Amino acid sequence: MQKVIVTGGAGFIGSNLVDELIKQEIEVIILDNLSTGKKENINPRAIFYECDVSNMNMNSFIYLFKDVDTIFHLAATPQVQYSIENPTDNNNLHSLINMLEVSRLLKVKRFVFSSSSAVYGNPKYTPIDENHPINPLSPYALHKLIGEQYCKLYSDVYDLDTVCLRYFNAYGNRMPKEGAYKSVISVFKEQYSQNQPLNIVNDGEQKRDFIHVEDIIQANILVANLTKNHKGDIFNVGTGQAYTVNEIADMFGGNKKYGEKRIEPKNSIAENAKITLDLNWKPKNKLKTWINTFTEEN
């Protein structure tokens, strides 16, 4: 990679990806409408354009794409509840299709799509591998699935090399306090900082696979640098290890508060053998270590 575009590069995962690419002396262009991203997340060494890729005129993209070899598409409205309340909002699909099409026309070498484990819905078995049945439970998850299918189509029909990464529960630097990517880690972190009881949904025995944003970034860079064509391939990005919400609360310490009820999958654990074997990727960050570091500072 020499020159890349990161859509959503002012967001949680996107901004961390930009920082790492800049460290590797790669030229980065950020496209972000700042609807969920933040200006303070933007690396000053990147080229930033405030724009909405879901409705930009195709001709507007052309000058941006000169000598671009890789597109990392992270731009999305990451809000499950919003998508349920606004099922006709197809901006996430429009942005993906626009970026795929301009990548095809301008012969970008590789397109990396940030998908989600939400496409699986309620798991029939765990750990969840890439062949697990698909059952999206919200328009947001459905759009991620359709996005994967568009990537495969553009690889098969137009020979654009694409790859899709299904993230599990992300945490780490700049994690959001709202939206679909808001995890129990973010909630507990905020409550712990304010000396409040840790609010536990349901009985707290639901298990989640938490993956640090730095490990997600390494997965993105590995798939971008691989010499073989992906042709729409899909990889889970998770640790393969899960903790109950109660166990995570114990890592933070302090009082717990039960009461809120919510319909949610009981367990969500990634099978990551494919990405480990194919890309030699291995998560390096430990959730307990990260929580201990945070709690010791407060």
- pLDDT 10s digits, 163-176: 999 999 999 999 88
Residues facing residue 116 across a β-bridge: 167
Over residues 125-131, the mean pLDDT reads 97
Q: Are 50 and 34 in contact (CB under 8 A)?
A: yes
179, pLDDT greater than 60: no
- Can you give the pLDDT at residue 220? 98
pLDDT digits (tens, 9 = 90+) for 187-244: 898 899 899 999 998 899 999 999 999 999 999 999 999 988 999 999 999 999 999 9
Q: Extract the tokens encoding 129.
A: 């591998």
Computed over every residue of the chain, the mean pLDDT equals 91
Spatial CB neighbours of 63, under 8 Å, sequence gap ≥ 6: none
Active site residues: 140
Q: Is the pLDDT of residue 57 over 80?
A: no
**Which residues, 6+ apart, have CB-to-CB distance to 118 below 8 Å?**
80, 136, 137, 138, 140, 141, 144, 180
Of 188, 219, 205, 191, whose CA–CA distance to 285 is shortest? Answer: 219
Residue type at 279 in one-letter notation: L
| Mean pLDDT of the region 119-147 | 95
CA nearest 79: which of 7, 12, 156, 160?
Answer: 12
Dihedral (CA of 16, 20, 22, 26) sign: negative
Are the C-beta atoms of 246 and 204 separated by less than 8 Å? yes
Q: To 5 degrees, how large is the angle CA 128–CA 36–CA 192? A: 70
Lowest mean pLDDT among 54-63, 107-116, 239-248, 278-287: 54-63
pLDDT band at 69 (very low <50, low <70, confident <90, very high): very high
* Cα 200 to Cα 245: distance, rounded to the nearest angstrom: 7
Share of the chain above pLDDT 90, in %: 73
Tokens of 295: 């709690």
Check pLDDT > 60 for residue 161.
Answer: yes
Span 179-194, average pLDDT: 79
| Lowest mean pLDDT across 36-45, 145-154, 176-185 | 176-185
Residue 127 has phi, psi (to 5 degrees) of -65, 155
Find out whether 99 and 148 touch, Cβ atoms under 8 Å: no
Could you report the per-residue pLDDT of 7-35, keeping only the tens digit for each?
Answer: 999 999 999 999 999 999 999 999 999 99
The larger pLDDT score, comparing residue 58 to residue 161, is at: 161
C-alpha 233/C-alpha 224 separation (Å) is 12
Domains annotated on the chain, with CATH = 3-169+211-237 (3.40.50.720), 173-209+242-268+286-297 (3.90.25.10)
pLDDT of residue 248: 94
